Structure 1
Amino acid sequence: MWIFIIFIVVCVVKILIDWWRPKTFPPGPRGLPIISNILDLKRLVKKTGSHGVAWCQLAKEYGPVVGLRLGLADPLIIVSGRQAVIEMLGRSEFDGRPNGFIFSHRTMGEKRGILFTDGKVWMDQRRFSLRCLKEFGWCGQTMENLILEDAESLKKIIEDTCKEGVVKNFSELTSLAVLNSLWSLLGGYRYDIAKCEPKILDTLRTLNNSIKDSNVSGGLINHLPFLRYIIPGLSGYNAITERYKQMWSFFADEVRSHKESRKLGVYRDLIDAYFKEIETHQHDTESYFNEMQLIAVLKDLFSAGVDTTNNSIGFTIGYLTIEPRVQAKVHEELDRVIGRENLPSIILRASMPYLNATLAEVLRLSNIGPTTIPHRATMDTKLNGYDIKKNYTILANLMSVHQDKEHWGDPENFRPERFIDDNGLFINDSWLIPFGAGRRKCLGEVLARNIHFLFVACLLQKFKFALPPGQNPPSMTGMDGFTLSPPVFNILITPR
């Protein structure tokens, strides 16, 4: 009896302590005991339309550093405004990744890979991946040729699709082509995108569903992980687990196939090179190179690379479809600099300031990644005068920087000219940080920018994009998820 009473008292005290906000804790809505700010956040997201806009609304109400408590998870700190964002991203004590349930569940019960690891695991996996991908030419002429090959294949598919009428989901057409450019480095071979192979299509759909049904805060299962035992279906745990298993199985099969077919001294791709790394460190008891880590690295590079790059292309075509004035100026520049028969080239990028400005404006306004991937404080510290305890989760609100009215003037408008100076040259504005900043800046930035530029240049060379007669322009605020994806709407595509 006494044990039960003591247990109840301890629980009540713990709930009250968690609910109480010290003066040095960042300001924010108080919330309710146990669930804390879960309902506050849910209402705000419903009202604003997305988590990204919700974070900006909280910043307007409470300031550049906002503190939330979401269920049983560690407190979530939202950092907004360029000064606070750049400071946070530049401090090594904020370079960790969250310890929440969902961040280990996604990689079979342990934090693995690159995206959601920190410390030695992250440094070793990141260093290897960067070195390996550079050796396989992701920044060179070979990679450019592969990207252009995929862009050419995509153009042929679009030409065939156009004959059947309007295109109803443009991003579905581009996703396989974007995947090919990345998978040639990771898995060493290329898919025939015209055949739409079921295995890879299923994997892409699983990835898309997983991203759309999640958010950077981790979701309900991360906030109240015990729900997976009580209501696994209603809490979303079953659906999440099934998607994670499907994705894991796809990459595990690729690793198994490579292991059976690899030849000594021959390195076809990142998978082969990783096996070599495992062998090199096989007697190192502190090594984090193993097959489970390899599967997680592939999953991370695939997920981050395909989704965000494909969304960048989708948003670009979307904005150009509803902004014919901008599209006409891009067409004119492409015709003048490259022509309609020559292939675009990275070397010629500097000669096309308006196309560069258009791509920059798309990344600014679309905010595909409204925040960085969650960070974690690795020690007790302070930010803007507030206490940030070890293991607090921290989000850098990039949307708040890209929507700052004092800097951009009219941030809500699509206006590429903001990135063009009086001499007609492209302005590389330091306030544009779609790939983050600091040591945890996206490692695939160079490849993503190259794919974005080459694909859009190839498509605009050959096609004109317009709304079908009678169709109203869609909202371009994007569809909420872990990232923002472009809206699905009909596009009339005609050859130029």
Structure 2
Amino acid sequence: MGKHSMQAQIAAEAGDLVTRLRDKSNGGSTPLKLHDAFDVCVLNSLWAMLAGERFALDDRRMMELIDIVHVSFRVIDTCGGLLNQMPFLRFIAPGWSGYTRLLSVLNRLWGFLRETIDEHRKTLSPGCTRDFIDSYLEEMEVRKNETDSTFNDMQLVSLCLDLFMAGSETTSSTLGFAVLYMLHHPEVQRRVHDELDGVVGRSNQPTLQHRPRLCYVESVIMEVQRHANIAPLGIAHRALKDTRVMGHFVPEGATVIVSIWSVHMDRKHWGDPEVFRPERFLDGKGGIVHDNWFMPFGFGKRRCLGEILGKSGLFLFFSTLLHNFSISVPPGHRLPSLEGSDGLALSPRPFYASLVPRT
């Protein structure tokens, strides 16, 4: 993560996205459904890192994967739903409790990942590491005689599942919300265009090298993450021992869920948290303000392991889209709602927008 190869992969997917949207938009005359427009490019950038390949746009396996990820994020909530509170229900009423459906979804994804790992094992060439799966398999071989080694196929499937599912769904949903906010705040979109034109130039495309000078673009992405709160309750953790937090007793083994939403929407700290205002992340000189109360990737040593990848993807996909298109509400369409669909993470509801190519 953070290497040049990763950046090049994301940039290539962003370029393909622009080409695909330009072809479909017919110069802006054809409204496009954009709430899930980023699914393919985000999935491909992650899959290239994990498995060393990308899917064709019409690949049946890719469409199946996208469907699996979407469904899995809808059949369970952050707290784990009813099954987490009363796990014995999976034995008594597996269908009614949702266990049957959840297991069906996960089995499809587990099967796909195991098939991919088996293919890598057959074609693995020592000293020629192609991707994350290759790297893990090589480490398994090195540690195969260690009795306490935790490197095994089950762990590899679990790691791929975490990186793949969490990374694709949250990044795609954040980008979908970013487009929504540009529809609601055309003045912000105009300022994004102006900064991109001044720093990148019309004849070039945004890169991560431009990022330090695109502070307003960066602040817009940060404000989308804060205001939309894609993961409002973060991920559940478990207390390893009895402890006290601000006078409250937390027993060993307790499930701990942090309300990121309450931090991002705290009125005492932000002043006007309900207002979409990217300038709150800019200082008097136009530089980025790094606020400890901004934590879309979590906080501390258990924060999201894909943070670097996530930030790079959000910046390159968003800046490339805005550099190439002006986004507006199609004639005859209402301004879409900012309210999201609930699940393990929030996602934008279906909406249409017009994309007019910028010249």
Question: Alignment partner for residue 435 of structure 1, among 272, 276, 297?
Answer: 297
Deviations 1:228-264 (A, max 9, x none): 2332222111111100100101101100111111123
* Larger deviation, residues 335-344 vs 420-429: 420-429
Question: Alignment partner for residue 308 of structure 1, among 170, 191, 194?
Answer: 170
Deviations 1:354-376 (A, max 9, x none): 11110110011011111221111
Deviations 1:322-345 (A, max 9, x none): 211110110111111111221212
Question: Alignment partner for residue 458 of structure 1, among 305, 312, 320?
Answer: 320
Which residue identity does 1:141 align to in structure 2?
Answer: H
2:327, 2:35 → 1: CA distance? 14
TM-score, with normalisation over the residues of structure 1?
A: 0.70
Identity of aligned residues (%): 38
**Equivalent residue, structure 2, for 1:183:** 47
Question: Alignment partner for residue 167 of structure 1, among 27, 32, 48?
Answer: 32
**Equivalent residue, structure 2, for 1:158:** 21
Contact 2:37 2:176 in 1 (8 A): no
How far did residue 474 of structure 1 move?
2.4
Which residue identity does 1:260 align to in structure 2?
Answer: K
Contact 2:31 2:330 in 1 (8 A): yes
Deviations 1:285-304 (A, max 9, x none): 11111112111111111011
Contact 2:35 2:351 in 1 (8 A): no
Which residue identity does 1:153 align to in structure 2?
Answer: D
Contact 2:73 2:343 in 1 (8 A): yes
**Equivalent residue, structure 2, for 1:412:** 274
1:287, 1:154 → 2: CA distance? 42
1:275, 1:350 → 2: CA distance? 37
Deviations 1:392-434 (A, max 9, x none): 1111111111101111111111111212222222222221111
Deviations 1:87-138 (A, max 9, x none): xxxxxxxxxxxxxxxxxxxxxxxxxxxxxxxxxxxxxxxxxxxxxxxxxxx3
SS in 2 for 1:346: coil
SS in 2 for 1:196: coil
1:243 to 2:105 alignment? yes
* Larger deviation, residues 424-433 vs 208-217: 424-433
**Equivalent residue, structure 2, for 1:228:** 90
How far did residue 464 of structure 1 move?
0.9
1:200 to 2:65 alignment? no
1:266 to 2:128 alignment? yes
Question: Alignment partner for residue 5 of structure 2, among 125, 142, 161?
Answer: 142
* Larger deviation, residues 358-367 vs 307-316: 307-316
Deviations 1:276-323 (A, max 9, x none): 111111111111111121111111110111111111211111101221
Higher relative contact order (CA 8 A, sep 6+): 2
SS in 1 for 2:120: helix
TM-score, with normalisation over the residues of structure 2?
A: 0.96
Q: How does 1:209-220 map to 2 (within 5 A)?
A: 209-220=71-82
Which residue identity does 2:36 align to in structure 1?
Answer: E
Which residue identity does 1:160 align to in structure 2?
Answer: D
SS in 2 for 1:172: coil
Unaligned runs of 5+ in 2: none
How far did residue 487 of structure 1 move?
2.3
SS in 2 for 1:387: strand
**Equivalent residue, structure 2, for 1:96:** none
How far did residue 473 of structure 1 move?
2.2
Contact 1:322 1:467 in 2 (8 A): no
How far did residue 485 of structure 1 move?
1.0
1:450, 1:270 → 2: CA distance? 18
| TM superposition outliers: structure 1 runs of 4+ over 3 Å | none
SS in 2 for 1:341: coil
**Equivalent residue, structure 2, for 1:88:** none
Contact 1:183 1:190 in 2 (8 A): yes
Corresponding residue pairs, total: 356
Which residue identity does 2:253 align to in structure 1?
Answer: N
SS in 1 for 2:225: helix
Across the aligned residues of Structure 1 and Structure 2, the Cα RMSD in angstroms comes to 1.4
SS in 1 for 2:302: coil
How far did residue 150 of structure 1 move?
0.5
**Equivalent residue, structure 2, for 1:286:** 148
SS in 1 for 2:257: strand
Q: How does 1:392-407 map to 2 (within 5 A)?
A: 392-407=254-269
2:94, 2:133 → 1: CA distance? 35
Question: Alignment partner for residue 237 of structure 2, among 375, 382, 392?
Answer: 375
**Equivalent residue, structure 2, for 1:29:** none
Contact 1:315 1:366 in 2 (8 A): yes
Unaligned runs of 5+ in 1: 1-137
Contact 1:374 1:394 in 2 (8 A): yes
* Larger deviation, residues 201-210 vs 225-234: 225-234
Contact 2:35 2:349 in 1 (8 A): no
1:251, 1:354 → 2: CA distance? 39
Deviations 1:55-79 (A, max 9, x none): xxxxxxxxxxxxxxxxxxxxxxxxx
2:91, 2:149 → 1: CA distance? 34
1:206, 1:315 → 2: CA distance? 21
Contact 1:186 1:298 in 2 (8 A): yes
Q: How does 1:22-171 map to 2 (within 5 A)?
A: 138-163=1-26, 165-168=30-33, 170-171=34-35
